[in-house]
Structure 1
């Protein structure tokens, strides 16, 4: 398959950047708010002998938000833990095919989970329950889970589309992250170990593996 049309590639890059900004902004502000309220609660408890009553509930909500929005962000950075013992032995083209299959299956799982989560959110909203401390609709606390699955699924779909370009020999762990090893010695061993075991390892920044 040849490279993607320029307008399609530009649209996908814009989508990837937009999703990345949403995830980064949400995660950044959530962590700042969580840290700020936690510090304020500690000060209030030990200095004024009075704690903020809704901090525990807010902290739980923000932790859920950070966890599931972080799912998509880590996917975008290609930082998920993977087992690659067999994958590393494949030629570059086969690695692209395997990456496409993995990303396609994972995207399907993410969207399936998002669908079930949507149904649960709708049932919770229909009951009209609110949280004990903040008195906000309970279903709002489950929305980050839904959005996290959707954003992660979108990232995996973008990974599939990026790897469909077989004219590019690189393998992408996400739309913007090349699948590579950060350790130069490990990358060199995978590239040249079988051909020339006495060759010295390269120096400098991270060196892509064969899959890159």
Structure 2
């Protein structure tokens, strides 16, 4: 699964680079008097794909912004319970978003929806980045929930998937 998370992180980086290329092409195009059709829309699709594809990777690498004001003040046993509640809550929310996003993509394919720009493309194509990203995030939360059931810390706290120790019990 780590390869899946890394691949999604790499795709997120690719789409960020694509945004840079599109913006640079627009700037150069304007200087030369050439308009690039739907470049703003494609940059928006790349932004969406990049943002969602990076979610699972960022969770595994502990790069999400976490407010630990309360967690840091709890005793170790309660901190572990609170962390488990956070993982289960994240799993529930990401699963809800995954199911609804998959339904949205399904209906876009079924009805043949197209984007509204100058260059119409099937809507499911830009929506797929979101669907894949939230699905991978759900898998990351599920993997962490399963780790916690085995008595281990989630990967984002333990320092990586290869380290099977319970960090909360270290001194």
Say whether the fold is shared (TM-score over 0.5): yes
Who wins on radius of gyration, i.e. which is larger? 1
Q: Quick check: 1:64–1:145 contact (8 Å CA) kept in 2?
A: yes
Counterpart in the other structure of 1:50: 34
Q: Summarize the Cα distance change of 1:172–1:108 in structure 2 as closer, same or farther, 3 Å threshold.
A: same
- Residues 134-149 of structure 1 correspond to what in structure 2 (within 5 A)? 134-149=119-134
1:16-95 matches, cutoff 5 A = 17-46=2-31, 48-95=32-79
Q: CA offset at residue 164 of structure 1?
A: 3.1
Q: Higher helix proportion, which one?
A: 2
SS for the counterpart of 1:78 is coil
Q: Per-residue CA shift, 1:77-109, capped at 9, x if unaligned?
A: 223223323321223333223222211121121
Consecutive unaligned residues of structure 2, counting only runs of 5 or more, are 161-166
Deviation at 1:162, TM superposition (A): 2.5
Q: 1:144 to 1:175 in 2, by over 3 A?
A: farther
For 1:133, the equivalent position in structure 2 comes to: 118
Once the 2 structures are TM-superposed, how far is the Cα of residue 64 of structure 1 from its aligned partner?
Answer: 0.7
Cα RMSD of the aligned pairs, angstroms, is: 2.3
Q: Which runs of 5+ in 1 are unaligned?
A: 1-14, 179-208
Contact 1:114/1:146 (<8 A) preserved: yes
Q: Matched residues in 1 for 2:6 and 2:68: separation? A: 30
Q: TM-score, normalised by structure 2?
A: 0.82
Match of 2:159 among 150, 158, 177: 177
